[in-house]
Chains A and B, each alone.
Chain A
Amino acid sequence: MKLYNGGKIITGLVIFLGIFLAPLAYNAGKAAYSQPKLKMPENEKECIESKEFMRTKHMQLLNDWRDASLRDGTRVYVNSKGKEFEMSLQKTCMKCHTNKAEFCDKCHNDAAVVPYCWDCHIQPEGLKK
């Protein structure tokens, strides 16, 4: 069997593989990704729902909260254990999680997501000029 233009093809393949595998080579020997250490609230041990639920579903929860409180006027959340909370990012979530930089931003930065909550909502640290 004869490979036509073999030199070019193999050179091309080597360059492609080199670029394709560069991230692996670049990260070789470095420590594996670990979940960021969040600053948890000091006075409160339990969030409104379980840790797993909050970790995976907090964005849907906030969306539902927005629609329920703004459009339906139902502003109280009764969680699965029957405990009641006012549905408010600024008045409920951020009253416990008093540090956006040490809580929200850590995972969001790692996951490269930029939610626009704080364009309007006021973070607990307050705004700086």
Chain B
Amino acid sequence: MNHTRRNFLKFAGLTAAGLCVASAGGVMAAGAGATYKEGAQALKAKRWGMVIDSKKVGTKEAIDVLAKACHDVHNVPNIPGKQNIMWIWAAGFEQAFDQPNNFMDEGLEKRQFPILCNHCTNAPCVRVCPTQATYKRPDGIVAMDYHRCIGCRYCMAGCPFGARSFNFMEPRLHLDVTKLNKDFPTRMRGVVEKCNFCVERLAQGKQPACVEVSNGAVVYGDLSDPNSEIRKILREHYTIRRKPSLGTEPSVYYII
């Protein structure tokens, strides 16, 4: 055999490649061939949206029912004072819509509105998040990966709707640990959290928790499908969204 440098290098290269494949293959073999797919019963949409009939859920008591259902499912603590965590809560017209009116009709003046994350099309929180812990899913939901949240609170500064809460303290201290929903995690101190449009329930084919207890006052569906129930309701009623002038394009509509 002709011992040239060229042959030696070829042989050395092949040996090194073979060793790499052999060592990697041994460990990878077991996991190779595994794939991911969507669940069969998962609800799908191009653009999830919500319509809230404020005539039907217009009181603090009615909204508290929605809030309790949501907060129980997602292990959201109730912390007295200014540092409370809220995924959905009640607010008056002026706070909610930023359109004060001196001579408002009395019913509207006293009405309370359920406020939650709007899952905006142009979500400022997604743009400002430095770690991409907050991100936009293809179905329009603005979701969070709490593993990546570093607690910088840029998203809270960016959100014009105040939809986000920061865990200033260990949330488990304010949760009844015997009554937790064991299918959903809690959060830890130092992360921001907000409504997730019940992505985990959609994956199981369930409607969001607040929709389920609302007796039809809150409707959830695909905004991109002209035949969906939500689009039918939007066609038939006058609805407004929060702070439309900011151009964030909320997905939550309110029947006034």
Q: Which residues of A contact B (CB under 8 A)?
A: 49-50, 52-53, 56-57, 61, 66, 68-80, 86-88, 90-91, 116, 119-122, 124, 126-129
- Contact A80–B30 (Cβ < 8 Å): yes
- In the assembled complex, 6 residue pairs joining A and B whose CB atoms fall closer than 8 Å, in A order, are A50-B30, A74-B36, A76-B36, A76-B38, A80-B34, A120-B188
Q: Give B155 Cβ to nearest chain A Cβ, in Å.
A: 16
Q: Which of A71, A73, A128 contacts B177 (CB 8 A)?
A: A128
CA distance A56 to B139 in the complex (A): 35
CA distance A93 to B27 in the complex (A): 21
Q: Give A71 Cβ to nearest chain B Cβ, in Å.
A: 7
- Residues of A within 8 Å of B180, CB to CB, are 122, 126-127
- B38's nearest neighbour on chain A, judged by CB, is A74
Q: Which of A61, A80, A91 contacts B183 (CB 8 A)?
A: A91
- Residues of A within 8 Å of B177, CB to CB, are 126-129
A68 in contact with B36 given A128-B177, A129-B177 (CB within 8 Å): yes
Q: Give B189 Cβ to nearest chain A Cβ, in Å.
A: 8
CA distance A61 to B34 in the complex (A): 11
- Residues of B within 8 Å of A74, CB to CB, are 36-38
- Contact A126–B178 (Cβ < 8 Å): yes
Binary interface encoding of chain B residues 182-225 relative to chain A, with 1 for a CB under 8 A from any of its CBs, else 0: 11111110000000000100010000000000000000000000
Q: Which of B64-72, B141-149, B240-248 contacts A (4 or more CB under 8 A)?
A: B141-149
- Contact B145–A70 (Cβ < 8 Å): yes
CA distance A120 to B199 in the complex (A): 18
**B131-182 residues at the A interface, CB under 8 angstroms:** 135, 137-139, 143, 145-147, 172, 177-178, 180, 182
Q: Which of B178, B183, B187 contacts A120 (CB 8 A)?
A: B187
- Residues of A within 8 Å of B39, CB to CB, are 75-76, 86
- Contact B182–A90 (Cβ < 8 Å): yes
A49 in contact with B31 given A90-B185, A122-B186, A126-B182 (CB within 8 Å): yes
Q: Give B36 Cβ to nearest chain A Cβ, in Å.
A: 4
**B18-43 residues at the A interface, CB under 8 angstroms:** 27, 30-40, 42
CA distance A116 to B188 in the complex (A): 10
- Contact A72–B145 (Cβ < 8 Å): no
- Contact B185–A53 (Cβ < 8 Å): no
- Residues of B within 8 Å of A90, CB to CB, are 182-185
Q: A73-B38, A80-B34, A90-B183 are in contact. List 15 more A-B contacts (CB 8 A).
A: A50-B30, A71-B135, A71-B143, A72-B36, A74-B38, A75-B39, A76-B37, A78-B34, A86-B39, A90-B184, A116-B188, A119-B188, A126-B178, A127-B180, A129-B177
- A123's nearest neighbour on chain B, judged by CB, is B182
